[in-house]
Structure 1
Amino acid sequence: MTEVTAVPLRPVGKSGITALWIGIAVLIAAGIGGAYASTQKAVLTAMPPERFLAANGKRAGVKTTASGLEYEVLKKGEGATPTTADVAQVDYAGRLLNGTVFDASKPGQPVAMPVGQVVPGFAEALTLMPRNAKYRVWIPPQLAYGDREVGPIPANSVLVFDITLHDFMAMPQGMGQGMPPGL
Structure 2
Amino acid sequence: MKRFLTFSLLVFTAFACKTYNDDQKAIFNAKIEAHIDSVYTQKFESLESGLYYRIIKEGEGKHKIKYTDNVDIYYTGSLLNGDVFQVITPEEALNFDVKDLIIGWQEALSLISEGGVVEVYIPPYLGYGDRQTEKIPQNSIIHFVLGVKKVI
AA paired with 2:106? A
Can you give the 5+ residue segments of structure 2 that lack an aligned partner in the other structure?
1-26
1:61 to 36, 43, 46: 43
**Distance across 2 between alignment mates of 1:76 and 1:121:** 17
Tell me the secondary structure at the aligned position of residue 108 of structure 1. helix
* Residues 81 and 130, structure 1, Cα contact 8 Å, conserved in 2: yes
Instruction: Pick 1 or 2: higher relative contact order, CA cutoff 8 A, min separation 6.
Output: 2
CA 1:64 to 1:56, structure 2 compared with 1: closer, same or farther past 3 Å?
farther
- Report the counterpart of residue 19 of structure 1 in structure 2: none
TM-score if structure 2 supplies the norm length? 0.72
**Unmatched runs of 5 consecutive residues or more in structure 1:** 1-47, 170-183
> CA separation in 1, counterparts of 2:35 and 2:47?
13
Q: What is residue 174 of structure 1 aligned with on the other side?
A: none
Checking the alignment, whether the CA contact within 8 Å between 1:49 and 1:157 is kept in structure 2 is no
- 2: distance between equivalents of 1:151 and 1:49? 22
TM-score between both structures, scaled by the size of structure 1: 0.61
Amino acid of the residue matched to residue 140 of structure 2? S
Aligned twin of 1:159: 142
| Bigger-Rg structure (1/2) | 1
In the aligned structure 2, how far is the partner of 1:105 from the partner of 1:57? 23
Number of residue pairs aligned between Structure 1 and Structure 2: 122
Per-residue CA distance 1:26-76 (angstroms, 9 max, x = gap): xxxxxxxxxxxxxxxxxxxxxx63322233566642110111101111123
**CA-atom RMSD in angstroms:** 1.9
